[in-house]
Amino acid sequence: MSKKLTIEQVAQLEGYAKAIRSSIVSMVTEAQSGHPGGSLSATDILTTLYFAEMNIDPKDPQKIDRDRLVLSKGHAAPVLYATLAERGFFPKEELLTLRKINSRLQGHPSMKDVPGVDMSTGSLGQGLSVASGMALAARLDGSAHRVFTILGDGELEEGMVWEGVMFAAHYKLDNLTAFVDFNGLQIDGPVSEVLSPLPIPEKWQAFNWNVIQIDGHDINAIYDAIQQAKTVKGKPTVIVATTIKGKGVCQMENIADWHGKAPSREQCELFLGQLNDLEVGV
């Protein structure tokens, strides 16, 4: 039997996710630009990875045998920064410097600037290949650490993704787990209307990946899928996580326009109030 989270652990993780969501809304508002929608949709995945799964040390961010995360959908930088700050990699106050001149917190993640960021990303389609290289290195070194990457569903429209999908399966990178943050929306509208990447699970299956489908806001499901991936040998795993863009802020949920728009200060107050009212552990 693989490990399970206790009810207390789940409640604690939901608490972290709530705090991270509030940070996302605050920092994007302060920056008056950025990508809140896809940050909020990926929050529960990053929370579970950084608080319940990954072997990392905020005091030693470059630790050689650490698990790694490549945020291939780099525009979701706010959720990565908020998670790293919540986890203690740098002070939370710094989050309000997002996208400002001289800040370490670039609009898209820069590994040379921010402790805990394992790869610079932002130009879509490139993260899976990089994560594959990291997974290959781990195998060459005989190290048991694992590599995670998070892709957007719209990102699957990038041809390079499929080069990476082929590569990871061909080299049987079973220490690699990819997430697809399947929120169904991209800048110009629903992914199914802009240029449909559907059906997603079947495509990855056809490329010889182990495919798991979950509700991407169910902490237990996320955690269980990660554990299941570890038991699969000879294949990389993709976790297709159905999510809601803007999750947690009802005015933002499922609205493509919130892909890359900052709330006004008044909206921010309202959204933070909503997030504050979210119940955890229910």
Partner 1 sequence: MGSATREAYGEILKELGKKYQDIVVLDADLSKSTKTAVFAKAFPERFFNVGIAEQNLMGVGAGLAAAGKIPFVSTFAMFAAGRAYEQVRNSICYPKLNVKIAATHAGLTVGEDGASHQAIEDISLMRSIPNMTVIVPADAEETRQAVTFAAEYNGPVYIRLGRMSVPDLFTTDYKFELGKAVQLMDGIDVTIIATGIMVASAKEAAEELLGLGISARVLNIHTIKPIDKEAIIKAAMDTGAIVTCEEHSIIGGLGSAVAEVVVENSPVPMERVGVMDTFGESGTPASLLVKYHLTVNDIVIAAKKVISRKK
Closest CA to 134 of 59, 70, 199: 70
Closest CA to 109 of 87, 133, 79: 79
- Contact positions with partner 1 (CB under 8 A) in 251-280: none
Name which position in 1, 7, 64, 282 contacts partner 1 (CB under 8 A).
64
What is 153-186 written as a DSSP string?
Answer: TGGGGSHHHHHHHHHHHHTT-TTEEEEEEE-SEE
Kind of pairing between the strands at 189-190 and 237-242: unpaired
* Interface with partner 1, residue 136, by CB under 8 A: yes
Other Cβ atoms within 10 Å of 193 Cβ, number: 11
CB of 157 to partner 1, least distance (A): 14
CA distances from 29 to 108, 145, 149, 270 (A): 16, 36, 27, 12
Interface mask toward partner 1 for 150-179; x: CB under 8 A:
---------xx--xx-xx--xx--------
CB of 128 to partner 1, least distance (A): 7
CB of 75 to partner 1, least distance (A): 13
* Interface with partner 1, residue 115, by CB under 8 A: no
* Interface with partner 1, residue 138, by CB under 8 A: yes
CB of 129 to partner 1, least distance (A): 2
* Interface with partner 1, residue 123, by CB under 8 A: yes
- Using CB under 8 A, count the residues that bind partner 1: 35
* Interface with partner 1, residue 85, by CB under 8 A: no
Per-residue tokens: 30: 């302060």
Which residues on adjacent β-strands are paired with residue 178? 149, 238
Residues near partner 1 (CB under 8 A) are 64, 68, 70, 110-112, 118-120, 122-123, 125-138, 140-141, 159-160, 163-164, 166-167, 170-171
